[in-house]
Amino acid sequence: MNIKKKAVDIIASIYSWFYKAKPTKQMLVFIESLVFVFLATGLSKGLLFVMNILGGRFLGAETYGEYTLINTFAMFLAIPIGLGVLGGVTRQLADVESFKRRKIIISTATNYFLITLVLFSAVYFLFYKELALVTKMGHNLFLLTALLVIFWSSNSLIESVFRGLHKQRQWSWITIISYALAFTSFAYLAIIGNINILLLFIPTFIIYAGFSFFGALFLRNYFTPGLFDSGEFKEMFHYGAYAFIITVAVTFLGNVDRVMINYFLGAGSVGLYQAYFFSSIMIIGVITGAFIRVFFPTAVKVKDPLNITKKLDRLMLIGIPAAFILLPFLIWFVVFLYGYEFSLLTAFLFSLATAIDILVVINSATLNAQGTASIKKTATGLVAAFIINIPLNYFLINLLGINGAIIATATSMLILYIYIRINLKKQKIT
């Protein structure tokens, strides 16, 4: 019996014991996809873990903070690229079986994406000096950021297409290959003694560039240059526009803390903050990331929200308390490996914030799967949380340092979670 089949059988058995019912055929397909993605995510994040720990230790908090800021600002700069279609293409493809229509959808999204990529990349490279000044980054750091944006954005589009096509196995293999190449480059740079910011930047670049290259290679038969269907684009954009609002709000909500920490406390504090953050989401991120990657397109197809939510709620009753109890110990261990100063209070605050974040991610995915009307509600809640988060970060970072940033984010996410649960209840999905 191979590892995949054994893992599927074990999860199916746990499912039967936990829910007192045998998994349906659709659930078995979901579990099989989940196993593929979980194994790939676990392996890739394991390599990422080693690179971050060693990289953060070798570089020190200051340079590690600068590397973190490159990733942070890359997310901000990528926001307008592919505006309106990155979220819509997954939903548009999720329940389409026709190869011809899939090709039209993917070609339409890709051609639009390429236009926006060229336009905004040109702006970033032409005005890099001015933008570097605004972001408080050096010219070279900003140029590295602009370069990363190109492949980070391409990676996002290709991942959205893979999710919509339910190609979890292919996504898994490409992910493993990309991370293996990145880890090889990291090991080589470390061995030859190239201990500077490129020690982490080059492997990160290879992850996104590698996935973009191999993903595009796999999807090449789905793409026709110049093919654009206005009807498909309009439908994608109708849903994707709200997904775009969510992307903007999530990007700011998840990264404004690092920007403000850099502004008030410097890159060294950003590096310390990132070490705690990375340790808090390392394992939880693997589990929830794999789950959501498979869950959203499956939920769109299944169309049984009430049953799904009941099962998730029961699972969360066990998972959330367990995560909150175990995370401080994990954070202590990882921060120790980084070689940075440990604070028990900071570890507990990050554990609380992570537990709330899990609830938000899973419940919002359930709500978003119900269509455009539901995603509007998620977008509204995220924008409100983002607006609340900015002044909270501003005042609390000045008052409490990096602990203030954690409290600000946890408070904003808790308000968002309550809002999403109210809307799930209104739609009788809980």
Q: Where are the domains of the chain?
A: 3-426
Confidence of residue 384 (pLDDT cuts 50, 70, 90): confident
Q: Which two tokens stand for residue 45?
A: 């994040």
From 35-44, 154-163, 194-203, the region with the lowest mean pLDDT: 35-44
Tell me if 210 sits within 8 A of 239, measured CB to CB.
Answer: no
Yes or no: say if 132 and 119 are a contact pair by the CB < 8 Å rule. no
Is the pLDDT confidence value at 300 over 80? no
> pLDDT at residue 416 above 80?
yes
Quick one: what percent of the chain has pLDDT higher than 70? Answer: 77
- Whose tokens are 């979980």? That residue is 38
pLDDT digits 0-9 by tens, 164-181: 888 877 888 899 999 999
Examine the pLDDT at 324 and tell me if it is beyond 50: yes
Confidence band (pLDDT; 50, 70, 90) for 313?
A: low
Return all residues near 406 (Cβ < 8 A) that are at least 6 apart.
257, 346, 349, 350, 353
pLDDT of residue 221: 93
Average pLDDT over every residue of 220-245: 84
Cα four-point dihedral sign 199, 205, 211, 213: negative
pLDDT given for residue 129 in this prediction = 93
d(CA 373, CA 427): 11
Read off the tokens for 361. 């991610």
* pTM as predicted: 0.77
Q: Is residue 310 pLDDT above 70, yes or no?
A: no
CA distance 346 to 121: 38
What pLDDT score does 240 carry?
67
Indicate the average pLDDT of the chain: 82
CA 223 and chain centroid, separation: 25
pLDDT of residue 165: 87
Per residue in 16-71, pLDDT (tens digit) is: 655 566 666 666 666 666 676 777 777 888 898 899 999 999 999 999 999 999 99
Q: Residue 354's pLDDT is what? A: 79
More confident residue, 108 or 7: 108
Tell me the pLDDT tens digit for each residue of 242-289. 777 777 777 888 788 998 998 888 888 999 998 888 887 766 665 555
Tokens of 108: 């339409």
pLDDT per residue as tens digits for the range 371-383: 556 667 777 888 8
Per-residue confidence band for 392, with pLDDT thresholds at 50, 70 and 90: very high
Distance CA 335, CA 327 (A): 12
List C-alpha distances in Å: 244 to 85, 208, 236, 378: 8, 21, 11, 11
pLDDT of the residue at 68: 92
Does pLDDT of 1 surpass 50?
no
Stretch 77-81: mean pLDDT: 91
